Structure 1
């Protein structure tokens, strides 16, 4: 059970802890505070922070991960990079967590498009694509009428590649085995992803959705 509110007073997490202590598995109770964040002129987006959880929950998750097998060296390397990005830009946790995937997607509000950031071993990349199992032609239909304005704003050609269509593809090469270069790479990904979402939203005429918040009980 997850209790979401814009603010919690001291008795509220205490109530969550009481419920946890007086119920049996598999019940679990969480208190999640929701806030609104904005990066520059980008649309307002929700940010969720867990302020109450069962005792030992993180330890249980770690045990489950270990029981499913240890991560590979590549997976651990990816996780460390994404942790670096999240340390620099905590708001990025809305669209991608500390996991071992090679990419994280940020939706463009009001569309079925996403701006993907991608981690390779010798470069970081980003591009626009459609949903899983989507068709490149559907993405092309949305972007083509605006391709000149977007190419000018994003400083790259619209292009098209990959099975599902990767549009406005950009890459920044670097020695990603050298962790000292990670902050610059992470900043580049984050800043460009924000720029892409803002530019596409403006050109496609997507209305900005403002999260007002959920009142506390």
Structure 2
């Protein structure tokens, strides 16, 4: 019959008696093994490298030419080593940080995950747990288990979203700045040169006129934040024909995602900045036309009495 042995765990301290004298030199000679675990090709630059009055365990270089800091311990993770990592990180200008320990405490796992989530994408933090095993009477074999690693896919998504948001914010701010340059009196209505997609302009009671920017621009009607759209519909229902005739759009919402909006008026696309003056003039006209139509329908004679004649 085939002989089958049992895998057993070996206490690392029985293999490496002293961390600095035994374990660190061994780990420095096994960078191909450690690098394979974290997905990096590592070249040894030095061990016990001076960083001010301290010494970093192992310093390596990856194939991108970046400095890799490796801090190792033959005990469970502790705050001292976490602090050393931060000290050496600054002193060596490392971008990849690998912390090797025989057991990671939950708070240190959380700390490294937080660093992966909140540092620039070229910084990468790894927590690698060392296990030592033996099968029967075989020589011992070290195993590197990666406990924490940067999720490059998620980081790329976060970076892409942040960049897209920054571009949108910049686009919106540029649009509203140009808007107020062309129609400065509309600042009195509540239009601001900010990065917002929307401005909500009060009409009367619970009714607001809203503006929006996305791929295109538009004007719509909604209620205040605490007012359900059904209440707005009920308030405007007696004036349906008058409003629809004045604005040329039905007294209803558009797509399913627009069920909190009414009288949606869609204007010019904003992908071509050369058309922004036309889009702005369209929006200016529709804002004032909508305000006047609602004011007239609701007999809000006190609101908009000083609106420019161009709104007619």
Q: Shorter-chain TM-score category?
A: 0.5 to 0.7
* Aligned residue in 2 for 1:169: 264
* Aligned residue in 1 for 2:198: 103
* Aligned residue in 2 for 1:146: 239
Gaps of at least 5 residues in structure 1 are: 1-68, 212-217
| Larger mean Cα displacement after TM superposition, 92-101 or 74-83 | 92-101
The separation in 2 between residues aligned to 1:136 and 1:113, in whole angstroms, is: 10
Q: CA deviation at 1:163?
A: 6.4
* Aligned residue in 2 for 1:74: 168
Match of 1:198 among 292, 309, 312: 292
The separation in 2 between residues aligned to 1:135 and 1:163, in whole angstroms, is: 13
TM-score when normalising by structure 1:
0.59
Q: Which has the higher contact order (CA 8 A, sep 6+)?
A: 1
1:130–1:164 Cα contact (<8 Å) kept: no
Q: How does 1:1-217 map to 2 (within 5 A)?
A: 72-94=166-188, 95-108=190-203, 110-121=204-215, 123-160=216-253, 162=257, 165-174=260-269, 176-209=270-303
Question: In the TM superposition, what whole-angstrom CA distance separates every residue of 1:159-191 from its partner, at most 9, and x where no partner exists?
Answer: 1255662111010242x2321100110111111
2:253–2:259 Cα contact (<8 Å) kept: no
Question: In the TM superposition, what whole-angstrom CA distance separates every residue of 1:120-168 from its partner, at most 9, and x where no partner exists?
Answer: 12x1111100001320111011111100111011011011255662111
Q: Which has the higher strand share?
A: 2
TM-score when normalising by structure 2:
0.42
Question: In the TM superposition, what whole-angstrom CA distance separates every residue of 1:25-64 from its partner, at most 9, and x where no partner exists?
Answer: xxxxxxxxxxxxxxxxxxxxxxxxxxxxxxxxxxxxxxxx
The separation in 2 between residues aligned to 1:82 and 1:107, in whole angstroms, is: 18
Q: CA deviation at 1:106?
A: 1.4
